[in-house]
Structure 1
């Protein structure tokens, strides 16, 4: 019996020893899940957060995958919804001739999901998203950022030269400022027509209004800023339906994408080119009011024009939104109280006043000031300069941040004539302008303050101008 018992013990010991030598079996599902996540991350072309009505945050993902990645918020994972499927949109009428236009190809999936209020950490496929702060203390402003390629103007910017197209440098410099919020004042995509043969400055550049152009003109160079903070996006005239409006609705606008408001069919442009204003709270008594001026003209609008009725109703909405906060910042693309340079035939620079179309509608409700009293700052772009304008009269300060990298306009005179005014009755106190590419910041003194310090910087982050708004008083140096 002792021998049998010894033999049995030896067999058991051998089995145990062999088991110890074997590698522990892997978890196939865990390995598969990790591989799926890594693959999903590699297929993501852009992931960012955009703020919409009443500050509601939307996570957006543009991916070459066939399905949307999962969104994780504070450890809880949920599915993202499809905003737009891959598609090639039939060629439609554009501002260019048919021979210089083409169908818009979008071989990417656009996904979206609402971020819950107060979320602390959010990510998609392991990529961290910038979540909103209740009271952003540092806001960064940039605009008019794309590389211009336009046959009608015979202007083809050097898209591969960072000295001549500075948006990539601007975005990298601006991201180092660690903003809590980024504002873009409009005009993201400028490569409308093909680069002429033999032009090395833009050779082989994508063109038209499809994904490849959006990627080259905005999403690739903007990547450092897209990951730095949530965005508030204004729509520019380059995002009208006859231009890059299809991409605007697929990728950028915070509201839902609707058939007929997607700029795919010209017959629906009166719907696709106009959208209602909305407010984005900034906390501590301040807010942004975002206005869609994509189709704004430069001449006064006749009251019989259907556009007059659309804008008049929207400006009434602006008045109601302004009642929500004592300090409102009106954000849109066309400078209402700014200036624009225009070269005369004698090579002198003429100074053009503010946008007459929007003024003609605003003054019917507010003949002198144009805006309700709570609107104290106007942010715009369109003119490819930085401008800071304060007034001796009761008018909101106008900031133009249109120097984000696209082809610069000629400089305005350093000294305006005493008669120069952007609007009849608006007396300029201070005027400052530059064509140097760059960006600007808006900073609060504390989480409870509605006083702001605004600073403009060149592309490398060198300070150019400082302005303040404190207790309704405006000042710049």
Structure 2
């Protein structure tokens, strides 16, 4: 056992350090100030990038540090630019009208303590297959609802299916969990990145701020950041950072820390806006006890939202629970959609519960729960959106429709 752990530690160390000079193909992130192109390099200077007919240098976001051997380079992407190339290859640019959106979340391979997902088996950890399948659908935009990094511990046993995996909070684990498998989808479209609890400051927060946070990098890992709005080709998105929101029994100061964030997010919302937040606001994790009592999540955000009045969003997209769930509410209330089956070990479907129940005082008119490795494709249809749930093993398993505040999945 000691020998296996030592071998895993050596593999993690070796994977964190590039064996030769390298520069990664760039990716595009949408944030409150528009689009930014980002890449990593071990070269002495940031590379140049070509916008239409002229080249420009990328700027240093942050230099190499400890377990992160690359310089992170970036450049703003003005709306006027029509074509971007990097080392002779095209880089995806934001579309004037977004018509096809991929939503997915919770994509990393879980290794923590004695629990080990078989990261080396594409059937047991299929994120790379999922990225390729989603890219083949030619989306205009990709939304990741959080939790990218799951390789926190060494592979516990040689036969666990994760032998040789890097682990810990370093470039090697980030590369294995996200950058390598996500490459087909990073090449296909710009992304909106939502921070998950796996990217909090006790876990992979430093990597989050180096690689994926769209705004300026802070001096140190910040636990709380302000919500922001993204305008994406006629689609209005509001992003809330819920990385430190506890699912259960939050202390009052934590609730009060999130209350102004939720109020600010509501103030940012325009008609028809989507709310993107890793922890679900209006969901049930399971039906508990012999009474099948609905156990709500997230307690921090639910308490913080009390007294803020009507929710202006048309829909809330989240992850955190590793399955596909829909909660449609009676009246003028936003639907909650959970898309958390992106690759990490899946949770069981919600199962049977009471015929009628409420979440946050809102009567549930329709609920759907589906287990599997899945992503969602939304296609614009006038003022509405057709949504198809794609399962890697079963194909298109559900067809839904978002119209107004109603996200409905007829059986």
Match among 430, 434, 438 for residue 366 of structure 2: 430
Compare CA radii of gyration and give the structure with the larger one: 1
Distance in 2 between the 1:459 and 1:231 partners?
21
**Structure 1 spans left out of the alignment, 5+ residues:** 1-41, 89-104, 264-271
Q: Does 1:174 align with 2:129?
A: no
What is aligned with 1:15? none
Match among 135, 145, 148 for residue 110 of structure 2: 148
Q: State TM-score, norm by structure 1.
A: 0.78
1:173-252 matches, cutoff 5 A: 173-252=133-212
Q: Describe the SS at the equivalent of 2:259.
A: helix
Residue 351 of structure 1 and its aligned partner are, at CA, apart by: 4.8
**Whose helix proportion is higher, 1 or 2?**
1
Q: Does 1:465 align with 2:398?
A: yes
1:274-285 matches, cutoff 5 A: 274-284=224-234
What is aligned with 2:11? none
Residue 308 of structure 1 and its aligned partner are, at CA, apart by: 3.2
Residue 229 of structure 1 and its aligned partner are, at CA, apart by: 0.1
Distance 1:234 1:197, change over 3 A: same
Q: Describe the SS at the equivalent of 2:286.
A: strand
Per-residue CA distance 1:32-70 (angstroms, 9 max, x = gap) = xxxxxxxxxx8223410000005x000000123222110
1:319-338 matches, cutoff 5 A: 319-322=266-269, 325-338=270-283
1:149-164 matches, cutoff 5 A: 149-151=111-113, 154-164=114-124
What is aligned with 1:315? 262
What is aligned with 2:384? 451
Match among 382, 389, 396 for residue 320 of structure 2: 382
Q: Does 1:114 align with 2:61?
A: no
Residue 471 of structure 1 and its aligned partner are, at CA, apart by: 4.2
Residue 117 of structure 1 and its aligned partner are, at CA, apart by: 1.2
Distance 1:66 1:236, change over 3 A: same
Distance in 2 between the 1:404 and 1:316 partners?
30
Per-residue CA distance 1:243-282 (angstroms, 9 max, x = gap) = 000100000000011213xx2xxxxxxxx11111111113
Residue 391 of structure 1 and its aligned partner are, at CA, apart by: 1.5
**Whose strand proportion is higher, 1 or 2?**
2
1:400-411 matches, cutoff 5 A: 400-411=338-349
What is aligned with 1:44? 23
CA RMSD of aligned residues (A): 2.1
Distance in 1 between the 2:89 and 2:293 partners?
49
Distance in 2 between the 1:59 and 1:157 partners?
32
Residue 475 of structure 1 and its aligned partner are, at CA, apart by: 2.5
Residue 474 of structure 1 and its aligned partner are, at CA, apart by: 4.0
Distance in 1 between the 2:65 and 2:406 partners?
51
Is the Cα–Cα contact under 8 Å of residues 323 and 346 in structure 2 kept in the other structure? Answer: yes
1:275-314 matches, cutoff 5 A: 275-284=225-234, 286-299=235-248, 301-303=250-252, 305=253, 307-314=254-261
Q: Does 1:254 align with 2:214?
A: yes
Q: Describe the SS at the equivalent of 1:173.
A: helix
Q: How many residues are paired up?
A: 391
Distance in 2 between the 1:333 and 1:320 partners?
19
Q: State TM-score, norm by structure 2.
A: 0.90
Per-residue CA distance 1:109-132 (angstroms, 9 max, x = gap) = 110000111321102222321000
Distance 1:164 1:391, change over 3 A: same
**Structure 2 spans left out of the alignment, 5+ residues:** 1-20
Q: Which runs of 4+ in 1 moved over 6 A?
A: none
Residue 385 of structure 1 and its aligned partner are, at CA, apart by: 0.4
Distance in 1 between the 2:287 and 2:171 partners?
33
